[in-house]
Chain A
């Protein structure tokens, strides 16, 4: 791994760590738990990439871990802005996530992929469009759009990985490994700006 990527991954851990310690204090207990969960995924993923190498993103468990990232953020947003649907939304995404885990463990890759698409589709829609609606309504500051930007970045990285795994790469493996830490940093910064701009 090139040194600049080590520094970038270290920055990801620092940004995520600072967010966990002080960045989400203004929220209630439940959103704090969800946001901690998602920033925790950022932090631990970046640490593991630092210690074990960026290629761990190809590991089967990485798909399970990265799916938790939008899950936590979207649950947090629903808990804050749509508390009446918190339980229902939580149940749906939990079922989808459980399906993904079970099918992954059974090595049923096609049906696992189906659960993954549904889970990422649903959480992605919430994370991308909800900030737009909230900003248009004037409920939150424009900085809240950072969440949409972060979601877009994570989606791009996720798609690049998915295409690579399916054998039809948009970018080759080396290119993905090279840009992945930067995308991760931009995403964690964007999420932090968004969540901090309520």
Chain B
């Protein structure tokens, strides 16, 4: 029992619970937005289960691959892999097993759903982490695309096909992710430089990075609003998303004209709140 609780304690940080939780929420949102029979608890739990296994699995695999980078960065050097609390080989097996189990479960549910989840996993682990992260700052685009896959997969699972609403939902997440990653890369620019990871602030300067954050936040907000309009979301829920989107765009603009660490991090937190609230609004307002 002690061994299990110790392992759980060590693996919990490896799955980045908040990020994984938010991605599962986006997947659920995509599924519910298709107005399918959500009273089917087994299917809902299956969406949660498949996404939990695949997203957690890919996050663990990323952590294994990037453990040398993590060891060089102050922000991440205390993670279980660089400190040796978890052995790389063991984490590799857990990550791979979790991903495969999630994928097999997804195939059993619906092949299209599984294919999109697999694309997300492939873009995240192979394209973003293994291939591009150490080569170019633009790798985050692929990180963003993979982050958009759960909501697209959920929507496709509920609908039986990929549609424009799903694509706009995916774009919403894709453009939301730079706000998340680039804010971190500004705040921890020295950390990334020490680990020799190319970032936007180091390559193009902080001012350009802030501009990119603002533009991408604006596009993320617009994409979510368009998805809501196209899926005929309840008017009240759409109004709330619009209000929050205006706030997000305003804050994003102020990071350009009134740049500071405080506003920058405020935008980061606001963007996360915007995305989470928008997802709940879509779930509640889907007709």
Chain A interfacial positions (CB closer than 8 Å to B): 17, 20-22, 25, 32, 36, 39-40, 43-44, 47-48, 51-52, 61
Contacts and interface: CB of A to CB of B under 8 A. Distances in A.
B131 to A, nearest CB: 35
A20 B240 contact: yes
A25 B236 contact: yes
Ordered nearest first, which 4 A-B pairs have the shortest CB separation?
A: A40-B243, A44-B247, A21-B236, A52-B266
A132 to B, nearest CB: 29
A51 B269 contact: yes
Interface string B233-265: 011110110111011001100100000001100
A36 B243 contact: yes
A21 B273 CA distance: 17
A21 B240 contact: yes
A40 B262 CA distance: 23
B65 interface: no
A38 B157 CA distance: 39
B92 interface: no
A47 B246 CA distance: 13
B271 to A, nearest CB: 10
A52 B236 contact: no
A76 to B, nearest CB: 14
B236 A51 contact: no
A43 B243 CA distance: 8
A194 B88 CA distance: 62
B270 interface: yes
Interface in B197-251: 234-237, 239-240, 242-244, 246-247, 250-251
A25 B247 CA distance: 22
Contacts of A25: 235-236
B270 A20 contact: no
Contacts, number: 45
Binding site of B, secondary structure by majority: helix, strand, loop or mixed?
A: helix
Nearest to A16: B243
Contacts of A32: 239
A61 B254 contact: yes
A39 to B, nearest CB: 8
Interface in B108-126: none
A80 B101 CA distance: 59
Nearest to A44: B247
B262 A20 contact: no
Among B240, B244, B273, B281: residue with most chain A CB under 10 A: B240
Nearest to B267: A51
Given A47-B273, A51-B270, A52-B262, A20 B239 contact: yes
A32 B243 CA distance: 13
B246 A44 contact: yes
Contacts of B266: 48, 51-52
Contact of A44 (B239, B243, B254, B263): B243
Nearest to A53: B262
Nearest to A24: B236
B239 A47 contact: no
B146 to A, nearest CB: 27
A73 B89 CA distance: 62
Contact of B247 (A36, A39, A48): A48
Contacts of B234: 21
Contacts of B251: 48
Nearest to A65: B250
Given A44-B247, A47-B247, A52-B263, A36 B269 contact: no
